[in-house]
Structure 1
Amino acid sequence: MWRCHEKFGPYVRYGPNELIVNTASGLKDIYSHGKKFKKSTKYSAMVHRATNTLTEVDKKKHGKKRRLISQAFSDSALKSYESVVLTHVKQLCSELISAEGKPVADGVWAPAKNMSRWCDYFTFDVMTNVIFGVNWSALKDSKYRSIPASIEKSNVRIGTLIESPGMKGWKIIDKLFFQQAIQARDGFIKFVNEILREAMRVTSKSGKGAFALLTTAKDPETGEPLNIKELGGESATLVVAGTDTTSTALAASLFYLCHYPESYKRVAEEVRSAFGTLDEIHLGSQLSQCIFLRACIDEAMRLSPSAPGALWREAEDDGIVVDNEYIPKGMDVATCIYSLHHNSECYPEPFSFRPERWLLNDPSSTPYRGIVSPHAAFTPFSIGSRSCIGKGLAYVELTLTLAYILWSFDFEITEGQHGSIGGGDPKSEYGRHRIDEFQITVHPALPLSQRQRISVVTLCAIATLILDFGVTVIDAPKVRMFESIICNAYYRNRDNSMLPGTVYGHGDISEDQCKIQPVQSALANIIGWQVLFDGIPAILLAIPYGAFSDSKGRKPVVVCCFLGLTLSTTWILFVCWANLPLELTWFSSVFQLIGGGAIVGSAVMETIITDVVSDDQRSTVFFILQATILCSDILAPPLSSILMTKNVWIPCVLGLFIQLSGTFLTMILPETLRLSQTTGGAGNESSMHKDKPSIAVQFKNNLTSIFGNRKITSLVVSLSVLAIGNESIDFLLQYVSKRYDWSIAKAAMLLSLRATVEALLLLTILPALMLILSKSGMPTMSRDLLVARMSCVLIVLGFATLAVSSQVTPAIIGLVVYTCGAGFQAALMSLLASLWKSNDMNNLGSMYSVVAMIMAIGQAIAGPFLSQTFAWGLQLGGPWVGLPFFTSACICAMVGTFLWIFSIPAGVAATE
């Protein structure tokens, strides 16, 4: 929403029936008492069993609930809670200056603490004790420490449902996207029920505390108390409001004081001069006179409000005016708290921590005051009849806690990687990039655990596996349909008596009659040119998508790529279904402009793996990932062959739905861009985000980086040249079917054999080889180079055997030998990444994309070229049918010769 206001101004149509306003006067017009707005029906998505003061839309019912609840938050009630709050404040301070349960000596720094978590535990303890009268001490006991985390997880779903309430009705989608959030909500509800039972037991004996007031309070107007369902609903709200929001404000205050030493020094001196001893710190005039402490709290809540989004209101009548803008009846209107708090007209230097702006009678506030009073646009607790009922208690907690901490000891940011926890990341998306801005939901600087890294790799493997399975299931029937369409067209023009009247399976021309040279040449032409056109999107867009993945993120590129490939398949099947000219299938490549096609998708997936996997593990992970994906090549061809005997369209439709499933799965991939970069220094907003080089400049820089290094250049060229040779395998089905008189369905089984051999190689032989070489002391890059050399030799021998075999058995042996060279690309890509990093270059996404583009050029050239060699071989007949494989053997032999004379740079080898 803040970005929308940056781009479009103070009034933004945020949805078909939604308006967000970013002015102080708009805030007053929407939320003040007596305005003709009611709470939006969006909040119905938050209702669980019964409404509460937060979710109740009806004004009269809300008024009744608020009058009852407010009795527990009166001034006299707040004063009675002071001793309970102070007890937990002292406990918090004791934990902060302890090491392994024991206090540290005077003058010694205590171990670093993640204050976001400790603030959660503290506010949880205060909430449970003050409101419910129970003391479960999360500060000392871990039993209930999961509750704040459950609230945070559940809030992700709640925030989405408020913006898209219709999603709640789609149970399957709700459970698919918010499985963890729903589990967290269920655990939270279980906790609320537990604390309700305990609170009733405690208050029945003592009759004291906020909960006792809630159970006995009656509406001054109606005399009605809260029923049990309403009591449960209000309890849930109090738990969330009393824990999550106050914790955020406290953690933010500590964060900003650490990042602004001058403010920290001033507020510490103020508190220490106001109180002679710790026991003097309590509510009263002395604490109220600590005006800079209050200014620091308000400034922290302005910069990082606990509820930063839009609080939607619905216009009850026509003709309502908000900040001189007409609002029709039924329209939802809101002010985004974060946006308004960062409006430069209200708050000059909106992203700087300037507590002075709140000291209206102090000359130091002048540079930081806007066109209106800072209080006019300040709304961390909202305003009007729907403002936060616990505002007073929140200020009590915040002022007492910060005063105690500031008086008791000094604090500062820890050194090392944990010192950046809580702030933004310069390499994150715009808006999340400020390292001195507290992030209330995500801490980008935290590294992934080993378990999380495995999860990322697993998700990548599963998504690619599903997509590849869908593509492979369709491969054989697609070739058969192409052949059938060409065959029917051929006989229609020459011998109508051969036409059975229908196509695709039942009553079709016999497959044997389609093995004639004209039909097979036409089929090779369709397949060959399809390879060329499929390479064009990668050639045109690999660099832009690579630059995008390095600046905005990997995930959007992967999602677009999978979507484009699925749409491409849909178009091909449509052309076949409509019996249109097969040349129209070439237009399927247009859809691959969305994401750049399979080559770009593969490059970005390799980038994601490189982001999360260490250098010494990379090639092995590449092998395992590639082997996992091969499961589709093992299982899909037999399944496709069986289904083709029923109807050729069954595997096609099945494959399309499987591809679509893979596309949906990519949407839950985590973003790994931040992991590829070190956080570095503070940087500067303009240099980090506003002065980025254009894509054209990035393209030039990346090409210069690649072709300015002879070693890197030679590896990239090797990959692209080998890509030309490897394209001949695309003609395997057609070659075996023609030369050995096999049906396409039977020939498809060879794809399964090839995948089985490759999976065994990648899962067992190559990882074992890499482990042996590693234990022998061979450096990482040397291992990768050796595997690439050996693989290239096997590829050459396999192609040569396929080309000269007149019998199917030696041809199968040749296919197996060729497959044993499957580790070539993974090993060479790993070697390339290591060389790239050794030159202090971090833009891996762009590097992989440049490589993908160059490989795409090679493949684009290979398609028509090898198609023509196949056509020549068909014309010559006999052993010449294997001409494309002989050509590939020669091409790969050149690459192998080069690799055997290639050497790792001496300087790099010495540092491995």
Structure 2
Amino acid sequence: MRQCLANAIYNVYLHPLRHVPGPFWARASEVPSWYYTTGGRRHIWLWQLFQIYGKRIRVAPNLVLFCDPDAHAAIYGMKSNVRRSPFYVGLTKNIREKTTLNTIDPAEHARRRKMLNTCFTDSSVNATSAFVSKHIDRWHQIMLDEHDSATEWSTSVNLGEKVDHLVFDIMGDLAFGRSFNIKEPGDNALREVPKKYCPVSQILLLKTKMCRSPFLSSIIWLKPRGLDRLVELITPPPVQRFNNFVFDSVTKRLELYKKQEGIPEDERRRDMFYFLCKAQDSSTGHPAYTEDELRAEASLFIIAGSDTASVSLASVFWYLVRASRCYQKLVGELQITFDTAEDVVYGPKLMGCTYLRACIDEGMRLVPPGPCEPPREVLAGGLKVMNDYYPEGTIVGTAPWCDSRNEEVYGDAGVFRPERWIIDEATGVTSEMVAEIRTNFHPFLSGPGSCAGKGIAMAEMLLVVARTLLRFELRKAPGSTLGEGSPELGWGARDRKQFQVVDAYISLKEGPEIQFRKRASPEAKVGRK
């Protein structure tokens, strides 16, 4: 007890960061930050603190967060004097399965990222878009099998859950050449995996709580000394089934890759696993990944890739069915550009749909895939952020949820307004205004830690939204409040027009709840005679 009291006194009055504002107990101990993590509402707490203390807050004795575009550039830039914090070591499954995400050594991370970049090229995006379209079409057929009417609305449907199933199947196919078939009718033991309150989500919540706890250093020490094994033993059955599926899928996909080595490249299955297997370590000329590393990277690709796309798509649809003007404007753009949903393919025409891209950007702004900060540890020599110096060992970061609600940058930051992303004299949006908000917009992160698969994720979202709105009319389910804010949630989460999420390192969401019906024939299209 005396030691705890002494530590608290030191942290508040003698610590090198004592001049940084923040709540008294947060400056004294990691407990407040940990407390809000356990409830999944830490991102709301951080937003509240920025409203009280300004652009810089101390939310734990050794953790300083910022809400400023220049601070983001200083922390996450290509030449920033930082590395990933020990938080990422705590996230690792075990010592064997290191991934690009949880590698904290800057040189090793750069080496791994360089190899990973060879897998995510324009060629790989074009090659994989056909797999994405195939799954979207099958997903739509299942919806039509449930309700095939152009006049009557369907019963209420949790579109967020259906999007989870679609995206998870896409990721499985791209990663392993095997779909999970979660979207298919009938029983499926893996269907619990992508749900908000499923065991995988609970594992992520548990790991996030561990990594933001006051005991992180002890946890890291214990991981190779029995803790990893204990976590494996208590892993829930659905997660074990997922892990077994990953293991078996990698084994079978490796066999197929080796079997196809002698045939022309354009006849081989060119999914993401193909590009991972093909990647070479330029320093040795050997394959970039061991079999264990392939399993780890492929598993990460599924979890991270499906989360980014599913929460972003859910956000876009959640806001669109509540914003009739935006919905109609987007449908009009799509119907003028494409004759049918089948015509929507990844390419210049789709990329030229500026309002579609603006809607996706706006959805990702309001609901970032990860609401809280990717923590970075300052290296020897220190780091200057917003004209202040931070010594070696300080943990720094910016929280996307808070960045996206910065009124100095966005003005009406809480409003879904896609027009803010489009230069247009009629709306008064200038190139300078768009450039300013772009500097604060990092849905795929930035610098060395940016998402390698952002091209595939964006292609997937463009295809899903465009094909879905050309095949179906959507509306908010009457009376549905799923995903809305409410007065009971408190300051920062009261607005019913805001889509709420739970922080589990990634964003966990519920909704939107919608009704759908088959869109009328092409002759009835908006914008066509």
Q: Secondary structure at the match of 1:334?
A: strand
- Alignment-derived partner of residue 436 in structure 1: 497
Matching residue's letter, 2:318: F
- The CA distance in 2 between the partners of 1:365 and 1:126, in whole Å, is 39
Q: Secondary structure at the match of 2:163?
A: helix
- Alignment-derived partner of residue 482 in structure 2: 421
Q: Secondary structure at the match of 1:218?
A: coil
- Alignment-derived partner of residue 203 in structure 1: 257
Q: Secondary structure at the match of 2:410?
A: coil
Is the 1:424–1:443 contact (alpha carbons within 8 Å) kept by the matching residues of 2? Answer: no
Shift, 1:350, TM fit: 1.1
More strand by share: 2
- Alignment-derived partner of residue 255 in structure 1: 318
Higher relative contact order (CA 8 A, sep 6+): 2
Is the 2:501–2:510 contact (alpha carbons within 8 Å) kept by the matching residues of 1? Answer: no
CA, structure 1 residues 339+180, in 2 after alignment: closer, same or farther (shift >3 Å)? farther
- Alignment-derived partner of residue 126 in structure 1: 170
Query: Equivalent residues in 2 for 1:207-606 (5 A)?
Result: 207-208=268-269, 209-224=271-286, 225-364=288-427, 366=429, 373-416=436-479, 419-441=480-502
- The CA distance in 1 between the partners of 2:74 and 2:154, in whole Å, is 49
CA, structure 1 residues 181+274, in 2 after alignment: closer, same or farther (shift >3 Å)? farther
Is the 1:337–1:380 contact (alpha carbons within 8 Å) kept by the matching residues of 2? Answer: yes
Query: Equivalent residues in 2 for 1:607-756 (5 A)?
Result: none
Query: Equivalent residues in 2 for 1:31-42 (5 A)?
Result: 31-42=76-87
Shift, 1:220, TM fit: 2.4
TM-score normalised by L of structure 2: 0.77
- Alignment-derived partner of residue 93 in structure 2: 48
Q: Secondary structure at the match of 2:501?
A: coil
Query: Equivalent residues in 2 for 1:68-83 (5 A)?
Result: 68-83=115-130
- Deviations along 1:712-737, whole A, 9 cap, x unmatched? xxxxxxxxxxxxxxxxxxxxxxxxxx
- Alignment-derived partner of residue 87 in structure 1: 134
Matching residue's letter, 1:133: G
Is the 2:314–2:511 contact (alpha carbons within 8 Å) kept by the matching residues of 1? Answer: no
Matching residue's letter, 2:209: T
- The CA distance in 2 between the partners of 1:368 and 1:115, in whole Å, is 35
Is the 2:318–2:511 contact (alpha carbons within 8 Å) kept by the matching residues of 1? Answer: no
Q: How much is the aligned-residue C-alpha RMSD, in angstroms?
A: 2.8
- The CA distance in 2 between the partners of 1:61 and 1:124, in whole Å, is 29
Query: Equivalent residues in 2 for 1:842-857 (5 A)?
Result: none
- Alignment-derived partner of residue 219 in structure 2: 168
- Alignment-derived partner of residue 633 in structure 1: none
- The CA distance in 2 between the partners of 1:205 and 1:436, in whole Å, is 53
- Alignment-derived partner of residue 7 in structure 1: 52
CA, structure 1 residues 186+17, in 2 after alignment: closer, same or farther (shift >3 Å)? farther
Is the 2:85–2:395 contact (alpha carbons within 8 Å) kept by the matching residues of 1? Answer: yes
Shift, 1:14, TM fit: 1.6
Shift, 1:167, TM fit: 6.5
Q: Secondary structure at the match of 1:56?
A: coil
Is the 1:246–1:398 contact (alpha carbons within 8 Å) kept by the matching residues of 2? Answer: yes
CA, structure 1 residues 325+98, in 2 after alignment: closer, same or farther (shift >3 Å)? farther
CA, structure 1 residues 443+35, in 2 after alignment: closer, same or farther (shift >3 Å)? closer
The number of residues matched between the two structures is 439
CA, structure 1 residues 306+349, in 2 after alignment: closer, same or farther (shift >3 Å)? same
- Alignment-derived partner of residue 112 in structure 2: 65
- Deviations along 1:42-68, whole A, 9 cap, x unmatched? 211011223211000012211222222
More helix by share: 1
Matching residue's letter, 2:104: V
Shift, 1:367, TM fit: 10
Shift, 1:97, TM fit: 3.5
- Deviations along 1:165-204, whole A, 9 cap, x unmatched? 2463679xx99xx999953655543342233233224434
Query: Equivalent residues in 2 for 1:738-777 (5 A)?
Result: none
The one of 69, 72, 92 aligned to 1:24: 69
Matching residue's letter, 1:190: N
The one of 194, 203, 207 aligned to 2:248: 194
Shift, 1:311, TM fit: 0.5
CA, structure 1 residues 167+421, in 2 after alignment: closer, same or farther (shift >3 Å)? farther
- The CA distance in 2 between the partners of 1:92 and 1:393, in whole Å, is 19
Matching residue's letter, 1:32: G
Matching residue's letter, 1:11: R
- Alignment-derived partner of residue 157 in structure 1: 206
Q: Calculate percent identity across the aligned residue pairs.
A: 26
Is the 2:160–2:511 contact (alpha carbons within 8 Å) kept by the matching residues of 1? Answer: no
- The CA distance in 2 between the partners of 1:82 and 1:215, in whole Å, is 19
CA, structure 1 residues 67+88, in 2 after alignment: closer, same or farther (shift >3 Å)? same
- The CA distance in 1 between the partners of 2:89 and 2:143, in whole Å, is 41
Matching residue's letter, 2:85: S
Is the 2:160–2:510 contact (alpha carbons within 8 Å) kept by the matching residues of 1? Answer: no
- The CA distance in 2 between the partners of 1:350 and 1:180, in whole Å, is 45
Shift, 1:316, TM fit: 1.0
Matching residue's letter, 1:323: M
- The CA distance in 2 between the partners of 1:233 and 1:311, in whole Å, is 20
Larger of the two Rg values belongs to structure: 1
Shift, 1:317, TM fit: 2.4
Is the 2:360–2:461 contact (alpha carbons within 8 Å) kept by the matching residues of 1? Answer: yes
CA, structure 1 residues 73+181, in 2 after alignment: closer, same or farther (shift >3 Å)? farther
Matching residue's letter, 1:217: A
- Alignment-derived partner of residue 97 in structure 1: 144
- The CA distance in 2 between the partners of 1:346 and 1:310, in whole Å, is 19
Is the 2:382–2:392 contact (alpha carbons within 8 Å) kept by the matching residues of 1? Answer: yes
- Deviations along 1:416-438, whole A, 9 cap, x unmatched? 3xx11122233223333222222
- Alignment-derived partner of residue 140 in structure 1: 184
Matching residue's letter, 1:86: S
Matching residue's letter, 2:194: P
- Deviations along 1:689-710, whole A, 9 cap, x unmatched? xxxxxxxxxxxxxxxxxxxxxx
Q: Return 5+ residue gaps in structure 2 as ranges.
A: 1-45, 261-267, 503-507, 513-529
Matching residue's letter, 1:120: D
- Deviations along 1:624-674, whole A, 9 cap, x unmatched? xxxxxxxxxxxxxxxxxxxxxxxxxxxxxxxxxxxxxxxxxxxxxxxxxxx
- Decide which moves more: 356-365 or 304-313: 356-365
Matching residue's letter, 1:110: S
- The CA distance in 1 between the partners of 2:257 and 2:317, in whole Å, is 35
- The CA distance in 1 between the partners of 2:232 and 2:428, in whole Å, is 48
Is the 2:423–2:431 contact (alpha carbons within 8 Å) kept by the matching residues of 1? Answer: no
Q: Secondary structure at the match of 2:498?
A: coil
Shift, 1:32, TM fit: 1.1
- Alignment-derived partner of residue 700 in structure 1: none
Matching residue's letter, 1:295: A
- The CA distance in 2 between the partners of 1:345 and 1:353, in whole Å, is 16
Q: Secondary structure at the match of 2:330?
A: helix
